[in-house]
Structure formats: C-alpha cells, structure tokens
C-alpha cells in the first residue's frame, strides 16, 4: 500500500477522526452513566433513611428494640432489596442490622460502624464496593444513628459492560470507515487511472488517438478534455518541428552539392599554390562534415516519423555484427585495438538489415574511437528467456555517470574537445537509439571511468 | 551525345552542365517540368537528368510521361531523399539510375557514362598504370613484376581507383563501392585502408602512384607532378 496515496491518507484521516469522536462520546457516556446511576442509588438510600427516621420518630419513649426491628423489616425488607441497614442507639448500641443480601454482594458484618461524632445531617461514605449514607436523629427514645448502604457492584458491572461494548465497536467502526474511505477514493480515482493508462499507451506518432472523455460531466471530464486539447497542441508542435527538421536537412542538400562540386572542380582543374589548395581542401573537409550532419538529421527525422518498414526480414545480429567487425578489423588494428568477435550464438531478430548494421557500425566505431591503444573491443551475444541481446564491450575510457543519461541525446558530447576533434557530429548514438526504438529494442549502457563501457542491445524474444 | 538536365536549382544545374560539357557532352537546361517536357518533345536526347522536386510539373509526373513517349531514353534521377522506400519508388517509376544529393560530380559522370554505354561495359581484365598491374581474373597485383599480397578490401579499393586512372574518387564513393552506406560519415575507414595500400603498393618504390587530393579524395595517377 502506498503510504502517500490520497486513498491511504484519507482512510487514515477517517480512522483518526472516528476514533477521537468515539473516545469522546464513549468517555462522556461512561461517566454520565455512572453519575446518573449513583445519584439514583443515593436518592433511593435517602428515601429509605427517611422512612426509618419516620419509624424512630413515631416510636414511643419506651419502645423495645424488637418493635423497631419488626417495623424496619416490614417496611424495608433490606435483604430482599440488597440493601444494608444498621440502626444504632447512642445509649445501648446496635439495635438492628440487616442480614446478608439476596445477591450476596457484601457482608453486612464487615462494614465498620461509623464512630462519633455522628453527623446531624446525612453524609455519604464508601466502604469497599458499598455506598453508605449515615444520618443521626434525636427522638423521644434516644439518639439514633441510621446507616444505609447498597452495593456499587451492579453499577460497576454495567460500566464494565459498556466499556467492553465500546471496545468491541470501536475497531469495527474504524475499520469500516477507513476501508470504506479507501475504497471510495480508489473508486473515485479509477477514471483518472484510466486516463493515465491510456496516456501511457499513447505515442506522439499516432495523430488521431485521444484520451477517453468521461461522461461524468464533472472535473474529471473537464480534465480529460483539457488533456486532449493539450495533446493536440503538443502533437502539432512535435510534427511541426519534425517537418522542419526534415525540410531543413532536405533543403540543405542542393546548396551543399553545388558548394562541394564547385570547390572540387576548382581543386581538380585550376593551378594554384599549395597554400590555397590546402585551404580549399580544409573547406571541403568541413563540407563533408556538414554533409554527414545533414544526412544524419534526415535519417533521424525519418525514424522519428516512423519510416515505412518495407524491408523487414529476419536478421541474425550475431552474424551481421561478426561480418561488420571483420570490415572494421583493420581500423581497430590500426589503432592497436584487439577486436574480438568469437563465434556468437545466433541472435535472430526481425528488422531492417541496413539500419541494424548502422547501429553496429556506430557502436563499434565509438568503442574503437574511445579505447586507448592496447585495449580490447569484444562482441558478445546473450540469449535469455524473454530477451536476446547483443553486447559491445570495450576497455576504453568510460563514460562519466553524470553523462550517461544524456549520451543518446542529439548533439550531446561527453567531452567537447575530444569528440569534435574526431569529427563526430554528435548524432551517432541518437541514430542508434532511434533505430532501436523502431525495432522495439532496449539499449542499456554500463560504464566505468577508466575501465570501459558496455552497450547492450536487448531485443524481445518473439513468441 | 546530347543530354538534358531538368533541375529547378539554377546553380546546381549550371554546375552540372559545365562539368558535363567539359567531358564533351552537349547539355541543355530546363528549369521546370513543363519546359523539360517541351525540350524532350522538340529534340532528340541521349540521356535525361531529372530532379524529382520540380515546379509546375513534378519530376515524377514528367518521368511517367517520358516513359510513355520515349521508353528507351535513359533517365538518371537526382533526389534529395535517400531512404530505401524512395529507392524502390524511383525504379518503379522508371528511373534507370538515381543519385542522392549531395552527390560527387565524379560519381555523376561515372553514372552518366555507364547509362550511355547501355550495352554491357567492356571490361579490361588487366589494368595497368606505370609498372603497377592488376589482374581482375586472378585478383593478383604486381608491381615491377613483384607480387603484392592484398586483403580483399585493399584489393577492392585499388581496383576501384585503377578503374579510372587520374579521376579523383571521394571517400563516399569508395565507401559505397567497396563497403556499404552504413559506414558513411562514421569512420575514417577509407583513410586507414588507403594508408595500408600505400604501404604495400607505393612505399617500397621511388614513384608514388596513389595520390591524396585534400578535401576531395584519392586517385591513382602515373605522374607525381601537379595536382589535377
């Protein structure tokens, strides 16, 4: 799961918000309920206390303890109601104490008596899990202390239940909210996904393809429409610039023919000083470079617009590259470079033989050019499950890591001075890449400064 | 021999015409397709040099009409395109040969002469310049009677240069003849081979036969004197 995705962040936000709300409401409920139940209990205790006060107040001066006990038991039935009742006379001590309650929630004998001074008005105290209220009254038959109590256990049990219920509900609700939020956002963003997928599959070559426009009529529909507009403008400008490139390189050819022809005629037919001869020769050399540049640009512009693939055949790259290496062997030897093309496994691809040869020539030429005397240039073939590849490895000067992403760019030079002196136009590798793209081949480069470079042409294995 | 050049670029047309006249051809110039058609209807030409991109009447259309009215007239097409699909298209349209701009004039002359010969070229089996001898049948090269061992590419370069002594062949021409177009513009491969060739053919001998014309190319010539 992507932790920075909109869906994930929204789900987390939902979960946090819901948890906080739940915690707040839960706490309120928990304490509110406790408060309510306790005050209810206290009220009930007070009512009982008043009844007993009434009994004592109504009793004659010489009332017997037995009569009091009987009255209280008749009126209150403490054991049955799970209440605690104790009546103490100041003069003679304990008059009445209720028995063990029906629910056995406390032991009446274990509740300590309240020592003097007795409170004139009712006070509340707590012993263990028993809530108690005590009130002292003066009557004709003497001064009494009335103690009443009830177990808090039912309240605590209820609270515990509530807590358990909340604890069980919380994760379920949070999970629902978070999961629902996540799914909902994913669902809402699915059209955007579809747009981006179609955009991914789109190339600037197919002029007519457009992104799907959603029928929703909302921001997403507007997004796809504006993207289509942008795409249209982008295509137009790409096409204009490609047409310009093709036209420009095309138009340059006629004047170049004239310049070259006239100068060559001058050199051939006129008598002139050696110095002038050399100068015209130098101009002619530049004309030749211009020619290569123009033809390179034309090749690129043709590849750009997806040159008609009429001459596609099965080509064994291993055999083609071995043959090409033979043709360049003398050149390599002339530079003191060992050119190795051992018997390679066949790498059969479908393509334009002349273009593929151009790729091999350009790569071998680069390898030879940038490998110092005594080095080695090796051709290799790798056949994997999903791809087959041709490798051209050298022990040359290598390419700096910072330059690697750019070496296939047009007119890019790793080192201005070095390549220009060699007469490279800066288009060789761009042509290589364009041809590879046309053949759906990947090109990988590994390079280490001072150790050498390895260019790998990876072709998909045909099903 | 009378030639017609139909080319809208005046300077290019004049330059080609001048060069061909120097080779003792009679040359007429037409600046667009209509004019070219009128010339062809009016005169008898032995060869037509035709640019395909023409105003008024396109070269392709003119070529189609010429093929109907004068089926035997050899046509050399000049084109600024160089992709293989165009190559096929030119021949399908009825061109006998084509040259891609920018071309070397020497190449143009070679093509023109080849087209005018029509009948299979008479090919000498043994080429000789001074005391250098190349036998096309045995592929053996001797100088001063001494056998010189050449690799096949070295032999190819030497044979090409000796096929027309005194003519300067550009690197592009040599590349296309002995190798193929893939090598164009990428390497100094021709220079390396010529250097090796010189080492074997010229170095042991006092008279040098292989000459460099700077900016143009190489030629094989008998005398060491002035360039040209």
Domain of A277, CATH number, reads 1.10.287.130
Report the alpha-carbon angle A141-A147-A153, nearest 5.
Answer: 160
Is there a contact between B228 and A268 if contact means CB atoms under 8 Å apart?
A: yes
**Residue A210, domain member (yes or no):** no
CATH number at residue A442: 3.30.565.10
pLDDT in tens, chain A (463 residues): 677 788 888 888 888 998 899 889 989 999 998 899 888 888 888 888 888 888 888 888 888 888 888 888 888 888 888 888 888 888 888 888 888 888 888 888 888 887 777 877 777 777 777 778 888 888 888 888 888 888 888 888 888 998 899 889 888 988 888 888 888 888 888 878 888 888 777 766 566 677 777 777 777 788 888 888 888 888 888 888 878 887 887 788 888 888 988 888 888 788 888 888 888 988 988 888 888 888 888 888 877 776 655 578 888 888 888 888 888 888 888 889 999 887 678 888 888 888 888 899 999 988 988 899 999 999 988 888 888 889 999 998 888 888 888 888 888 877 755 555 455 667 888 889 988 988 888 899 999 888 889 999 998 886 6
Pick from B172, B186, B215: which is nearest to A284 by CB? Answer: B215
H or E segment to which residue A316 belongs: strand A312-316
For residue B128, list its beta bridge partners.
B133
Q: Which of A102, A126, A157 is the last residue of a domain?
A: A157
Q: Which of B117, B143, B159 is the last residue of a domain?
A: B117
Region for B185 from its dihedrals, namely left if φ exceeds 0, alpha if ψ lies in -120 to 50, beta otherwise:
left
Say if A247 is an interface residue toward chain B (CB within 8 Å): no
Chains A and B: how many Cβ contacts under 8 Å?
A: 140
Task: Give A 406-435 residues with CB within 8 A of chain B.
Answer: 423, 425, 428
Q: Which residues of B touch A251 (CB under 8 A)?
A: 80
Pairing status of strand B2-6 against strand B47-51: parallel
User: Which residue of chain A has the CA closest to B227?
Assistant: A268
Statement to judge: residues A268 and A320 lie in one domain: no
Say if B153 is an interface residue toward chain A (CB within 8 Å): yes
Say if B12 is an interface residue toward chain A (CB within 8 Å): yes
Pick from A283, A331, A352: which is nearest to B192 by CB? Answer: A331
Is there a contact between B80 and A254 if contact means CB atoms under 8 Å apart?
A: yes
Note the pLDDT of residue A443.
Answer: 92
Pairing status of strand A83-89 against strand A93-97: antiparallel
Q: Which of B117, B148, B169 is the last residue of a domain?
A: B117
The answer to whether the predicted template modeling score (pTM) of the entire model surpasses 0.80 is no
**Residue A213, domain member (yes or no):** no
Residue A436 and residue A355: Cα distance in Å, rounded? Answer: 9
Residue B96 and residue A287: Cα distance in Å, rounded? Answer: 29
Task: Give A 87-106 residues with CB within 8 A of chain B.
Answer: none
**Residue B98, domain member (yes or no):** yes
Helix (DSSP H) and strand (DSSP E) numbers for chain B: 8, 12
Q: Which of A157, A178, A194 is the last residue of a domain?
A: A157
Statement to judge: residues B109 and B164 lie in one domain: no
* ipTM computed for the complex: 0.77
A116 burial type by CB count under 10 A (0-12 exposed, 13-18 middle, 19+ buried)? exposed
Spatial CA neighbour of A445 closest among A403, A412, A414: A403
CB neighbour burial string for B22-36, b if at least 16 within 10 angstroms, e if fewer:
eeebebbbbbbbebb
Q: What's the domain range around A270?
A: 220-304
Look at chain A and report how many structural domains it folds into.
3
Which parts of A307-380 fold into alpha helices (H)? 317-334, 353-369
Which of A68-77's residues contact partners 24+ apart within 8 Å by CB, and which partners? Answer: A68/A95, A68/A96, A69/A95, A69/A96, A72/A96, A75/A51, A76/A48, A76/A51, A76/A52
CB neighbour burial string for B38-64, b if at least 16 within 10 angstroms, e if fewer:
ebbeeeebbbbbbbbbbeebebbebbe
Statement to judge: residues B106 and B20 lie in one domain: yes
In tens, the pLDDT along B166-214 reads 888 888 888 888 887 777 766 678 888 999 999 999 888 888 899 988 8
Sign of dihedral through CA atoms A220, A224, A229, A235?
A: positive
Q: What's the domain range around B132?
A: 126-220
Is there a contact between B15 and A262 if contact means CB atoms under 8 Å apart?
A: yes
Q: Which residues of B touch A360 (CB under 8 A)?
A: 182
Statement to judge: residues A273 and A398 lie in one domain: no
Statement to judge: residues A290 and A345 lie in one domain: no
């Amino acid at each position: 799961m992507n932790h920075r995705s909109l869906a994930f962040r929204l789900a987390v936000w939902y979960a946090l918000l819901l948890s906080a709300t739940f915690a707040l409401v839960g706490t309120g409920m928990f304490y509110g309920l406790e408060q309510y139940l306790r005050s209810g209990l206290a009220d009930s205790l007070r009512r009982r206390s008043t009844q007993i006060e009434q009994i004592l107040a109504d009793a004659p001066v010489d009332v017997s303890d037995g009569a009091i006990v009987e009255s209280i038991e008749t009126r209150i039935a403490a054991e049955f109601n799970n209440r605690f009742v104790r009546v103490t006379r100041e003069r003679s001590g304990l008059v009445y104490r209720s028995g063990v309650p029906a629910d056995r929630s406390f032991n009446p004998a274990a509740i300590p008596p309240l020592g003097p001074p007795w409170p004139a008005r009712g006070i509340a105290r707590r012993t263990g899990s028993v809530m108690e209220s005590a009130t002292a009254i003066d009557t004709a038959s003497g001064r009494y202390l009335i103690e009443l109590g009830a177990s808090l256990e039912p309240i605590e049990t209820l609270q515990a239940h509530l807590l358990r219920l909340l604890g069980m509900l919380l994760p379920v609700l949070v999970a629902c909210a978070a999961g629902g939020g996540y799914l909902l956002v994913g669902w809402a963003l699915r059209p955007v996904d579809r747009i981006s997928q179609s955009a991914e599959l789109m190339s600037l070559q197919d002029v007519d393809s457009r992104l799907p426009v959603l029928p929703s009529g909302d921001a997403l529909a507007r997004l796809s429409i504006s993207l289509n507009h942008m795409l249209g403008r982008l295509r137009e400008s790409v096409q204009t610039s490609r047409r310009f490139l093709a036209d420009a390189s095309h138009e340059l050819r006629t004047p170049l023919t004239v310049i070259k022809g006239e100068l060559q005629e001058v050199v051939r037919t006129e008598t002139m000083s050696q110095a002038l001869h050399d100068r015209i020769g130098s101009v002619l050399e530049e004309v030749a470079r211009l020619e290569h540049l123009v033809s390179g640009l034309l090749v690129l512009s043709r590849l750009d617009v997806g040159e008609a693939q009429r001459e596609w055949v099965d080509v064994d790259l291993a055999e083609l590259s071995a043959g090409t290496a033979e043709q360049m062997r003398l050149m390599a030897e002339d530079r003191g470079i060992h050119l190795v093309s051992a018997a390679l496994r066949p790498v059969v691809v479908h393509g334009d033989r002349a273009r593929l040869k151009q790729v091999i020539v350009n790569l071998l030429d680069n390898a030879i050019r940038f490998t110092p005397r005594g080095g080695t240039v090796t051709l290799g073939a790798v056949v994997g499950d999903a791809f087959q590849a041709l490798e051209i490895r050298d022990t040359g000067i290598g390419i700096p890591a910072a330059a690697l992403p750019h070496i296939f760019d047009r007119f890019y030079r790793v080192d201005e001075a070095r390549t220009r002196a060699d007469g490279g136009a800066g288009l060789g590798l761009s042509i290589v890449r364009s041809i590879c793209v046309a053949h759906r081949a990947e090109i990988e480069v590994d390079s280490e400064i001072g150790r050498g470079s390895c260019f790998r042409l990876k072709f998909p294995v045909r099903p | 021999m009378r030639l017609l050049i139909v080319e809208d670029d005046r300077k290019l047309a004049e330059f080609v015409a001048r060069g061909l006249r120097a080779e003792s051809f009679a040359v007429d110039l037409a600046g667009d397709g209509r004019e070219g058609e009128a010339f062809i209807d009016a005169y008898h030409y032995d060869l037509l040099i035709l640019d395909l991109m023409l105003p008024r009447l396109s070269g392709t259309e003119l070529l189609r009409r010429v093929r109907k009215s004068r089926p035997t007239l050899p046509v050399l097409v000049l084109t600024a395109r160089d992709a293989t699909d165009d190559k096929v298209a030119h021949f399908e349209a009825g061109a006998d040969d084509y040259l891609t701009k920018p071309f070397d004039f020497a190449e143009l002359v070679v093509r023109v002469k080849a087209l005018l010969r029509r009948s299979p070229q008479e090919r000498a089996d043994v080429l000789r310049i001074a005391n250098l001898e190349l036998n096309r049948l045995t592929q053996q090269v001797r100088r001063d009677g001494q056998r010189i061992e050449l690799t096949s590419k070295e032999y190819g370069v030497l044979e090409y240069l000796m096929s027309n002594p005194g003519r300067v062949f550009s690197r592009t021409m040599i590349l296309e003849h002995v190798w193929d177009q893939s090598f164009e513009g990428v390497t100094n491969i021709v220079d390396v081979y010529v250097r090796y060739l010189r080492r074997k053919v010229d170095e042991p001998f006092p008279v040098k036969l292989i000459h460099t014309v700077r900016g143009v190319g190489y030629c094989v010539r008998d005398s060491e004197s002035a360039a040209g």
